[in-house]
Amino acid sequence: MDNTVQKIYDFSTEVDRQGFSSEVTNEIKKRIADSIFTSYGAKDSVPINIMRKALLPSGSKRNSTVYFTRQTASPEIATFINGSMTRYLDYNDTYLSKEALHPSDNVPPVMALSESFDIDGKRSINAIGVAYQVVCSLADAVSIRDLGWDHVTYISISAASGLAHLLDLDPVKFENAVSLGINNNISMRQTRAGELSMWKGCTAANASRNSVFATLLANDGFTGPYPVFEGEMGFFKQVSGEFNLDLKADRIKKTMIKNYPVEYHAMSAAEAASNIRNRMKGDIKKIEVETFTVAHTIIIKDPEKLRPKTKETADHSMPFIIAYTLAYGDPVPDSYSDKYLKDGRILDLIDRSTFRVTEKFDSMYPEFLPVKIKVTTDAGEYEEEIDIPKGHHKSPYSWDDLRKKGARVAGDDFAKNVVDLVSSFEKRSARELLEVISDVDTER
């Protein structure tokens, strides 16, 4: 067996023997609930409506529920639509390391196969935990961003690993699931360069869709390229370079639930701008922002970030997010609609903004998420520095925080029902959860 796949398989079998601690299990359940809430907010978005029109009806030997509907589809199609809902608003959880990514992109594929194979909640939780551990370990091992590859490439690997665990595949089938999941699913970073398209919020769902497809094939004996990491033309040679995967730490405890629907490197900036707005007086003359290199590279430096033309670019633009927050308050899913993209007040504030990378903040990242904003108005100066935003692993979400987030997105009753079910998910099943979210008022 390929050495990297062997490490993943060994970890998977260890989870079978020992499971996860109650603390880690609780955190996994929170991320499941959070992924449902963020999905709800995107259910009526333009890309999701396009997908439903283009891809439904759909069916196969086994089928899975399309979130917030009574429709079912083949598991890979359900995964693509549901995963796109989870990711589209840029509101699901984040992990920051050598690579920044969204681990809960692994939830929809596990939910799809858990439902279609009628697997219990405890095993579904463990499968999601395996996927989290794999994807966060990959993010710790090596960055592929600067080599031109998108981080969702890692989702292909982690989703296949979690699904192979879910179906309890033997060593040969396990390796084939991972191999088939990654070999043809290397995603280009162009997805996140310049003006961003709908695909930015959907490419992770496509990675996990392919992993579902791969796992279903492997489950029935289909074989994949070997060895996929170490081979002559394998992942190490073509994509990442060699790395050592360390699967020992409980990395889910360092994943972070989002308090606002913004690219995570702008989370502190949104909170700082909100705090300034609450005490600021007078008309804004200038805005000065201190940040760190990774944030500058991803969400500041491109000229498109100063005049975003799409929702996808705007929620990846720190200049837009700060200007919006100072002008109108905390960012919400509707903050990136056309009326705000063309808003003269926001564009004027962007033009009054300057951004500077500091050595101090570079040294603090990724353990912290530092930003300093100084706003000068005709009434005075207002300054705010934040290193740890709400939802960061050093200031984590409680179940009550999560319920409040769900209520903001989907209403009190829905939030309560999801929290009540998911908090005891080890005693329930994916079918029960999907039944609850299928009963939602889709006209809300």
Q: Are residues 127 and 10 in the same domain?
A: yes
Residue 13 banded pLDDT, cuts 50, 70, 90: very high
Tokens of 40: 């709800």
30: which 2 tokens?
């929170």
**Is residue 185 one of the residues assigned to a domain?**
yes
146-173 pLDDT, tens per residue? 999 999 999 999 999 999 999 999 999 9
Domain that holds residue 409: 3-259+403-438
Kindly report the number of other CB atoms within 10 A of residue 103's CB atom.
Answer: 28
Question: Does 106 map to a domain?
Answer: yes
Q: Are residues 281 and 246 in the same domain?
A: no
Q: Residue 206 domain-assigned?
A: yes
pLDDT of residue 444: 37
Query: How far lies 299's CA from each of 192, 239, 274, 345, 355, in Å?
Result: 10, 24, 19, 20, 11
- Domain check: are 207 and 234 in the same one? yes
Q: Which helix (H) or strand (E) holds 426?
A: none
Q: Looking at the structure, tell me whether residues 250 and 354 fall in a common domain.
A: no
Average pLDDT of every residue of the chain: 96
286: in domain: yes
Report the CATH number that the domain containing residue 41 is assigned in CATH: 1.10.4100.10
pLDDT at 441: 56
Contact 355, 300 (CB under 8 A): yes
Provide mean pLDDT across the span 207-228: 98
- DSSP H stretches of helix in 70-106: 75-88
Alpha helices in 89-167 (DSSP H): 107-116, 121-141, 152-166
Beta bridge partners of 170: none
Task: Specify the number of domains making up the chain.
Answer: 2
Within a domain: 395 = no
Q: What is the pLDDT of residues 420-439, one digit of tens each?
A: 999 999 999 999 999 999 88
How does DSSP assign 334-355, residue by residue? GGGSHHHHT-HHHHHHHHTEEE
How far, in Å, CA of 104 to CA of 111, rounded? 11
Under a CB-based contact definition with an 8 Å cutoff, are residues 316 and 192 in contact?
Answer: yes
Note whether 160 and 250 are same-domain residues.
Answer: yes
Radius of gyration of the chain (CA): 21
302: helix, strand or coil? coil
Residue 443 lies in a domain: no
CA distance 48 to 52: 6
With a cut of 80, say whether residue 443 has pLDDT above it: no
Report the alpha-carbon distance of residue 187 to residue 154 in Å, rounded.
9
Residue finishing a domain among 343, 361, 386: 386
More confident residue, 73 or 444: 73
Return the pLDDT at 442: 46
Tell me, yes or no, whether 309 lies in a domain.
yes
The predicted pLDDT at position 439 comes to 80
User: Is residue 387 over pLDDT 90?
Assistant: yes
160 and 217 belong to one structural domain: yes
Domain shared by 362 and 347, yes or no: yes
177 and 295 belong to one structural domain: no
For residues 8 and 27, state if they share a domain. yes
pLDDT digits (tens, 9 = 90+) for 324-350: 999 999 999 999 999 999 999 999 999
Q: Residue 249: what pLDDT? A: 85
What's the pTM?
0.93
The token pair at 275 is 């705090």
> Is the pLDDT score of 7 beyond 90?
yes
Mean pLDDT of 31-56: 97
Q: What percent of the chain has pLDDT over 70?
A: 99
Q: Based on the domain organization, do 277 and 425 belong to the same domain?
A: no
| CATH number, position 293 | 3.30.1330.120
Say if residue 101 is in the same domain as residue 144: yes
| Range 392-401 average pLDDT | 96
pLDDT band at 74 (very low <50, low <70, confident <90, very high): very high
Q: Per the domain annotation, does 412 fall within a domain?
A: yes
Helix (H, G, I), strand (E, B) or coil at 377: strand
Residue 304, pLDDT > 50, answer yes
Indicate if 249 and 298 belong to the same structural domain. Answer: no
- 120-127 average pLDDT score: 98
CA distance 164 to 218: 9
